[in-house]
Amino acid sequence: MEPASKSWSPERYRRDAGFISRLGEPVLELLAPRAGERILDLGCGDGALMEKIAARGCAVVGVDASPEMVAAARRRGLDARLARAEMLAFSREFDAAFSNAALHWMAGRPAAGRPLTVAPVLDGVFRALRPGGRFAGELGGEGNVAAVYDALAAALRRFDPAAPHPASGLYFPSAEAFRAALEDAGFAVERCELFPRPTPLPQGILAWYEVFAAEWLARIPAAARAADYAELEDRLRPRLYQPKHGWWADYVRLRFLARRPL
């Protein structure tokens, strides 16, 4: 059984995962927004990066499937809209599209047992762009946070041997697979690169699980939680903790730049 669908707390996200938008700055540079452009931010979250694009003189529209995040972005005065990424209804109206650390949450399966795909999302972004428009972004790539999720999977299986792997609904493609997905949607791909990005977690690994995997942690019986959390940390410490630097996570990024042909 899958856990209840994910809900986001903008406050907790800002406090314990603010590094996501800070580390998204190079993706903004890849987008290179120019004053006067109309830009779509796919999976805009609380609007932290939308705000930076708007500050460069662009008109930015953000879409996100989380009502809490859309509300947080609107509190910043931004044009954020509640929408599912696979159902975008824009047509040839954006000069560019941008997405940071969001596409991996947007995949679906065409039928049970079939591989995860973001094809409907990429089709919608393609339609939303004017001919010649660019799509710059970053998502988790093959192997992303594998140690973090494998340790969680082991913790969950102590209570439910049939528990699904907690990353089984997340889309972490190889560079080759994602390039092919972009091309299938009609894009000309200019860059598509996979690279490791070990990411410090100043709030610790448990705070990371609380932000990104709370719905899975909730499956651990309350009475066993303290012991189980300690075991999770023990399992990960040899790989993801250094006494001098603290906790970090084994992020792998897939960064891309593609264009709708003229």
The three-class DSSP label of residue 204 is coil
- Convert 63-116 into a string of H (helix), E (strand) and C (coil): EECCHHHHHHHHHCCCEEEECCHHHCCCCCCEEEEEEECCHHHCCECCCCCCCC
> Residue with the closest Cβ to ligand BEZ?
140
**Residue nearer to ligand BEZ on the CB measure, 50 or 129:** 50
Beta-sheet pairing, 129-140 with 188-200:
unpaired
Sole window of 5-13, 139-147, 179-187, 225-233 interacting with ligand BEZ (rule: CB under 6 A):
139-147
Of the candidates 78, 85, 104, 236, which one interacts with ligand BEZ according to CB under 6 A? 104
Q: Residue 212 interacts with ligand BEZ (CB under 6 A)?
A: yes
Contact assessment for residue 129 and residue 92, using Cβ atoms and an 8 Å cutoff: yes
Q: Is 255 in the site for ligand BEZ (CB under 6 A)?
A: no
Are the CB atoms for 201 and 207 separated by under 8 Å? yes
By the rule CB under 6 A, 251 interacts with ligand BEZ? yes
Does 216 sit near ligand BEZ (CB under 6 A)? no
Largest CA distance in the chain: 60
Is 140 in a helix, a strand, or coil?
strand
> Which residues, 6+ apart, have CB-to-CB distance to 181 below 8 Å?
117, 118, 119, 122, 173
**Residue 101 binds to ligand BEZ (criterion: CB under 6 A):** yes
Q: Which is nearer to ligand BEZ, 54 or 101 (CB)?
A: 101
Contact 15, 201 (CB under 8 A): no
CB of 15 to ligand BEZ, least distance (A): 15
List the x/- string, 57-76, binding to ligand BEZ by CB under 6 A. Answer: --------------------
Task: State how far the Cα of 11 lies from the Cα of 17, in Å rounded to an integer.
Answer: 10
Stretch in the footprint of ligand BEZ (CB under 6 A) among 80-88, 109-117, 140-148, 153-161: 140-148
Q: Which of 80, 118, 145, 155 binds ligand BEZ (CB under 6 A)?
A: 145
Q: Which of 10, 62, 124, 140 is close enough to bind ligand BEZ by CB under 6 A?
A: 140
Residues that bind ligand BEZ (CB under 6 A): 20, 101, 104, 140, 144-145, 170, 212, 251
